[in-house]
Structure 1
Amino acid sequence: MTQRVDLATVMDRLAVDEVISEYAVAVDDGDWETYQGLFAPGGRADYRSAGGIEGDAAEVGGWLTRSMELFPMRQHLIVNRRIRFGSLEHDTGDTAHVQADYINPMRFAGHDSGSTAPDFVCGGRYAFALVRTYEGWRLREVVVREKWRHASDRQPAMP
């Protein structure tokens, strides 16, 4: 590889990593407009393994808006990111696949015990598929594979 190709690959890795970080921040902050803007046209997400839904970014964004009201404190971490680049229409580097682990501590709404500790924690692995667009890298697919969860005995009554 030439030095120029190596630099382009590094820049793409940084750009893909930035999309994944923006995804985590958007979900934790409840910024559903930004969440939807991270997806390419036709992009989809699948949260079924975590008790959620599968659908296009707008549909899943609406579901997240409603379901995350139960958890006003969220701070999930996406770690161990493995990025692999692929090709689209024979142009190397137009797709990326990221496999990354996550841990997601959350706090239920209405817990006024004075503690800020999470009372629900889950973890698992994400599979992100990205595509290069004219606007930059965008999510084509997000699949959540929850592996475990732990909830305290002090769960609120579900509506």
Structure 2
Amino acid sequence: MAPRLIGQMTYPKQHISLTKIRKPVVEKIRRDRINTCIEQLKSLLGPEFLRQQPDSKQEKADILEMTVYFLSRQQQAGSSTATANEGYSHCVQEAAAFLSQCEVKTPSHSKLLSHFQSLQTSRQPSQVPRPLSPPAFLVPQASKGMASPGQLWRPW
């Protein structure tokens, strides 16, 4: 039974020695990756960093801090763009709803209405609600027959 214990004892020593050899190599590779990425960030943020701290040495923490600051500013700018797009879509929806409730009297009115309706259909249905249907008194009667080619066709 003694030789078996010795055999089991030598295996972990070999394993430990391999781990001791591998660990510094793996750590060096990890540090090299981190340093390479920080150097890339430094080159990307060069002008921005010089504007903020022109006379100081660029440390790793400063580079990471500037990156976080820059990305948070970019994210805030993106959210304001989304808000503007939502406002625009809502305005188009309201204008189309208003124009569809009025009787078409001029060619410019029909062009504007068709333009707004095409804007609404080009967007995803989940983003922009459909325009309201016109009141019942504006719906054309079936006895009028087919519309003339110059008039705008409406499904209601």
The alignment's TM-score, normalised by the length of structure 1, stands at 0.26
User: Could you say which structure has the greater relative contact order, defined with CA pairs below 8 angstroms and 6 or more residues apart?
Assistant: 1
Question: Rg: which structure is higher?
Answer: 2
- Structure with greater helix share of residues: 2
